[in-house]
């Protein structure tokens, strides 16, 4: 006896679909960045001479000093713990800020889709280990609030949120973000930069980012170092052109910017020729600002200025193939 008809699922095609999702994309970014973060944390263990800066910046020199003395913790271990703490705090604050804003704005909850955590991690990667905790909290929170949610969230923001957060901190408390003699976690050691590049290449291979954009950024930096290295070599530290070029990559944030900032899906172009132009433009801007700018790092300015160009560049579209659709 048939009690009732079977109820089928209906919906529009296509019915075969790829299983990617926004969540998967964000977690892929985080996973690709985590090895670099881990190397950064380990690298801090070998930089004990920065301990005094760490203490001075946080205002807890005496406390840290006494912890090191009383408990026999090596200063290197303490610095490593500090770096890990900064990264964990960035990610945690990112998720918390997303959740809080979504509650306040009465939005559906997407806090666990990994985007907040990714933005928090990216802001934290650009911080030195000595950054005061409240600076980091303000930076990540404003990155999520001003950089992302006020524009309408993922898919709508014109600027990279992490860069917005970083820039606010850089302009407000430059002495905390660039304390004398300290580097950020992302540029702490050459090994970190190498691991970042490996993670980025893995992302390209998995198809989560377009390899064209990092290639174009790196190409733009090479082009820029050739141009500005010939025009004003003394402002880039001097040396031969090859030395100047190499110096751009083995220190600073060019690699992480090329693979993890420029390739952000929302604030980068969708078409391929614009993607090349966008990357080259970003690379040239990095070199221009590094040569003539007054700030210690050019990355946030270059990324945000290229993001401004993105909607304009994306008007370059391939020609649509004219097709006659036969009826029947």
Partner 1 sequence: MFDEITDRLFGFRRPKFPLKSQHLAIKDAAASSSLVFPLFSGTGVPYEALVKEGDQVKPGQFLGSDGVKKAVVCPVKGKVVGVISGPDARNHYVGHSVAVDPDPDSSPVAWKPMDPETASARELWARVAEAGILTESYTPRPLGEIIGPEADVEVETLVVLASDREPEVFSTSEVFRWRSEDVFIAAKVLGKMAGAKDVYVAAHDKSAGQTGKSAGGTGVKVLSVPPEYPMTLKPMVALRAGGGKGVRVITAGTALAALDAIRDGKVQDKKVVTFIGPKGEAKANLRAPIGAKLKDLFAFMGLKPRDGDKVLAGGPLRGIAQYSLEAPVDAGLDAVMLIPRENILPWSDEPCVSCGACVSVCPVNLQPSLLGRYSEFSIFEPADDLGVMNCVECGLCAMVCTARRPLVQMIRLAKREVTRIRNEAEQKAKDKKAREEAEEACKEQNEPAVSEASAG
Considering only residues 269 to 298 of the shown chain, the ones binding partner 1 according to CB under 8 A are 269-273, 275-276
Rounded to 5 degrees, φ, ψ at 128 are -75, 165
Alpha-carbon distance 143 to 152, whole Å?
Answer: 13
Question: Is the peptide bond prior to 14 cis by the omega test (within 30 degrees of 0)?
Answer: yes
Considering only 181, 207, 237, 238, the residue that binds partner 1 (CB under 8 A) is 207
In 10 A of CB 11, how many CB atoms?
A: 6
Task: Report CA-CA distances (Å) from 87 to 124, 126, 243.
Answer: 5, 10, 32
Cβ-based nearer residue to partner 1, 6 or 294 = 6
Residue pair 95/115 in contact (Cβ under 8 Å)? The answer is no
| Total number of residues that touch partner 1 (CB under 8 A) | 51
Considering only residues 307 to 326 of the shown chain, the ones binding partner 1 according to CB under 8 A are 317-326
Cβ-based nearer residue to partner 1, 180 or 323 = 323
Considering only 15, 69, 106, 175, the residue that binds partner 1 (CB under 8 A) is 15
- Fill in the per-residue mask, 218 to 257: x = in contact with partner 1 (CB under 8 A), - = not in contact: ----------------------------------------
Q: What is the DSSP string of 194-252?
A: HHHHHHHHHHHHHTSS-THHHHHHHHHHHHHHHHHHHH-GGGGT-S-HHHHHHHHHHSS
Applying CB under 8 A, does 106 fall inside the site for partner 1?
Answer: no
Considering only residues 122 to 181 of the shown chain, the ones binding partner 1 according to CB under 8 A are 152-156
Considering only 21, 66, 74, 172, the residue that binds partner 1 (CB under 8 A) is 21
Cβ-based nearer residue to partner 1, 106 or 175 = 106
Residue pair 44/76 in contact (Cβ under 8 Å)? The answer is yes
Residue pair 185/85 in contact (Cβ under 8 Å)? The answer is no
Residue pair 143/162 in contact (Cβ under 8 Å)? The answer is yes
Rounded to 5 degrees, φ, ψ at 96 are -65, -40
- In the complex, least distance from residue 27 CB atom to partner 1, rounded to whole angstroms: 13
- In the complex, least distance from residue 255 CB atom to partner 1, rounded to whole angstroms: 20
Applying CB under 8 A, does 25 fall inside the site for partner 1?
Answer: yes
Considering only 27, 173, 211, 295, the residue that binds partner 1 (CB under 8 A) is 211
- In the complex, least distance from residue 112 CB atom to partner 1, rounded to whole angstroms: 14
Q: What is the DSSP string of 72-100?
A: ---HHHHHHHHHHHHHHHHHHHHHHHHHH
Applying CB under 8 A, does 14 fall inside the site for partner 1?
Answer: yes
- In the complex, least distance from residue 266 CB atom to partner 1, rounded to whole angstroms: 5
Cβ-based nearer residue to partner 1, 11 or 59 = 11
- In the complex, least distance from residue 316 CB atom to partner 1, rounded to whole angstroms: 11
Q: Would you tell me which residues interact with partner 1 (CB under 8 A)? A: 5-22, 25, 110, 152-156, 207, 210-212, 265-266, 268-273, 275-276, 317-328
């Amino acid at each position: 006896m048939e009690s009732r008809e079977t109820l089928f699922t209906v919906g529009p095609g296509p019915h075969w679909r790829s299983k990617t999702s926004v969540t998967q994309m964000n977690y892929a970014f985080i996973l690709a960045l985590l090895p670099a973060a881990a190397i950064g944390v380990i690298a801090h263990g070998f930089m004990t001479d920065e301990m005094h800066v760490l203490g001075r910046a946080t205002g807890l020199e005496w406390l840290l000093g006494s912890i090191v003395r009383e408990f026999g913790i090596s200063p290197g271990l303490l610095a490593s713990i500090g770096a890990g703490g900064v990264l964990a705090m960035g990610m945690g604050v990112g998720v918390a800020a997303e959740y809080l804003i979504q509650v306040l704005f009465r939005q559906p909850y997407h806090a666990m889709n990994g985007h907040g955590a990714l933005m928090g991690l990216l802001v934290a990667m650009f911080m030195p280990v000595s950054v005061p905790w409240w600076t980091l909290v303000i930076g990540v929170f404003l990155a999520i609030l001003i950089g992302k949610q006020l524009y309408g969230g993922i898919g709508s923001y014109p600027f990279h949120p992490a860069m917005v957060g970083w820039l606010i901190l850089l302009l407000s408390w430059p002495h905390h973000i660039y304390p004398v003699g300290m580097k950020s976690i992302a540029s702490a050691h050459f090994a970190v930069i190498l691991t970042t590049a490996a993670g980025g290449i893995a992302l390209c291979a998995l198809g989560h980012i377009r390899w064209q954009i990092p290639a174009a950024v790196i190409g733009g930096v090479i082009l820029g170092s050739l141009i500005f290295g010939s025009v004003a070599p003394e402002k880039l530290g001097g040396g031969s052109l090859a030395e100047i070029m190499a110096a751009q990559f083995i220190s600073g944030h060019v690699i992480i910017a090329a693979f993890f900032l420029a390739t952000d899906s929302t604030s980068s172009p969708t078409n391929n020729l614009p993607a090349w132009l966008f990357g080259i433009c970003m690379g040239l801007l990095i070199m221009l600002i590094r040569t003539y700018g007054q700030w210690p790092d050019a990355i946030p300015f270059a990324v945000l200025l290229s993001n401004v160009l993105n909607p304009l560049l994306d008007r370059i579209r391939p020609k649509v193939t004219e097709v006659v659709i036969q009826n029947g």
